Structure 1
Amino acid sequence: MNIEKINYKGNPNIGVFMFSNDKITLVPKDTDDKILNIVAKVLGSRVLRITLGGMNIVGIFVAGNNKGLLLSPLVREDEYRLIKSSFDGNVAIVKTRFTAVGNVILVNDRAAYVHPDAFDELKNYVKEYLEVEIVEKGTIAEIPTVGSAAYVNNIGGIVHPEASDREIEYLSNLFGVKMDVGTVNFGIGFIRSGLVGNNRGLLVGDRTTGPEIMRISKIFG
């Protein structure tokens, strides 16, 4: 799997600003062409420049897999329509008090793991629009924002370094892939903040070290 380092406007926290699955990659409207070309080459999906809620922090306002996308209640109707017309799958704006939906849902095409306090509000959206077999709730290393503390696709997953062996085993069984601990951007455990990817490739923040990339590469093959 190809792994490349990038930033957004000099910021290595690319997961805050971008989201990807195999069909579509969402990036801020002002993403420069050089970065856009790297994103398209590595991820191989359609790249859409967009704002969500009129903001560039696109990554935290969307959660999803290859079957569907769940958008923050802050997303505007015109933004929703643009995504809906560009993505071959389910799209929904969720009704929830958790506006940063990307931080509270960890999901691949098989299963979803949801912030314990957001579970009741989001589980029906997850089941209907993301079409997963299993939806569970919980934390990772006592962190409730599970979508920020890990990244998973249909090949593997990487989780916060303080996750226990028991948690890693549970998540591996839940998502049906090998998972292990790691970091991004020179020791950051909130994986999603510095990683954007799909089943074709991964992008990491440009502060991510060689040893961190080697560990990520080992997990995802």
Structure 2
Amino acid sequence: MIRTLKIHDSPIIGAFATCTEEVALVPQGTGANVCRSLEDMLKVPVFQKLINGSTVVGSMCRGNSSGLLVPRTAITAGFDDLDIPAYNLPGKLNAVGNVVLANDSAALVHPELSDRAVETIENALKVEVHRGTIGGIKTVGMAGVVTNKGLLVHPRVSDAEIEVLEKIFGLPIAIGTSNFGTQMVGSGVIANSKGYVAGSQTTGHELARIEDALDFIQ
């Protein structure tokens, strides 16, 4: 199975799409072939959405099996067809997918998120939330990819950050890239514990690292 593709003619698929254990979200207008490929690779139904009129769905929302976080200005009723409730994240940091890295057990978030925002994330995703960075980068949602089985992060992650991440998620940490050397690995990979897909420029070597990190090597 080919594990790479484009969404809206871009290899930066993590900006355009996101997934949980139950659903994947892509922008309205995504081609039927791309939607079918995502369903095959992630083993979840795919829903087409716009968030505040924007196609960068992956940058604008983040979810897990308990809930979906969207910007404070987004209309949550637009997600009523999903089996998980949607919640508005308060505050000015509205690119939710960029500032939240989460699976079903924990979340790492942008260090400048307010206490109210952190509380909202805890209630929506039903996980413990920790502020932090990956490689000194505050947009942790694009600096890493986490599932319930593994965590792949930016190559410049520090030993101290690795220690924190291991404590937060209880998972082995691996470093890697996507799209021929892009260090913001979350911008080029979408994954859950059932499968993954990477941006179209991702090399075979990078795919092997991703598969190893997210525990897909048989």
- TM, length-normalised to structure 2: 0.94
2:178–2:202 CA contact under 8 A, matched in 1: yes
Taking every aligned residue pair, what percent have the same amino acid on both sides? 35
Q: Paired residue for 2:146?
A: 152
AA aligned to 1:163 is V
Partner of 2:78: 82
How far is the alpha carbon of 1:3 from its aligned partner? 7.3
- SS of equivalent residue, structure 1 residue 170: helix
Q: Which stretches in structure 2 are left out of the alignment for 5+ residues? A: none
Q: What corresponds to 2:62 in structure 1?
A: 63
1:14-45 per-residue CA deviation (whole Å, 9 max, x = no partner) reads 01100100111111111011111101111111
Letter in 2 for 1:146: V
Check if 1:102 corresponds to 2:101. Answer: no
Q: Displacement, 1:119?
A: 4.2
1:202 alignment counterpart: 196
Query: Any conservation in 2 of the 1:23–1:87 contact (CA below 8 Å)?
Result: no
User: Larger RCO: Structure 1 or Structure 2 (Cα < 8 Å, ≥ 6 residues apart)?
Assistant: 1
The question of whether the paired residues in 1 share the 8 Å contact of 2:100 and 2:110 is answered with yes
Q: Which amino acid letter does the alignment assign opposite residue 118 of structure 1?
A: L
* 2-structure distance, mates of 1:125, 1:199: 25
Structure 1 unaligned blocks of 5 or more: none
Match of 2:156 among 153, 158, 162: 162
Q: Deviations over 1:101-132 (max 9, x none)?
A: 11111111111111111142421111111001
Compute the TM-score of the two structures, normalised by the length of structure 1. 0.93
Residue 142 of structure 2: SS of its match in structure 1? coil
Number of paired residues? 215
Larger mean CA deviation between 169-178 and 182-191 belongs to 169-178
The answer for the alignment partner of 1:179 in structure 2 is 173
Query: Residue 92 of structure 1 corresponds to which residue in structure 2?
Result: 87
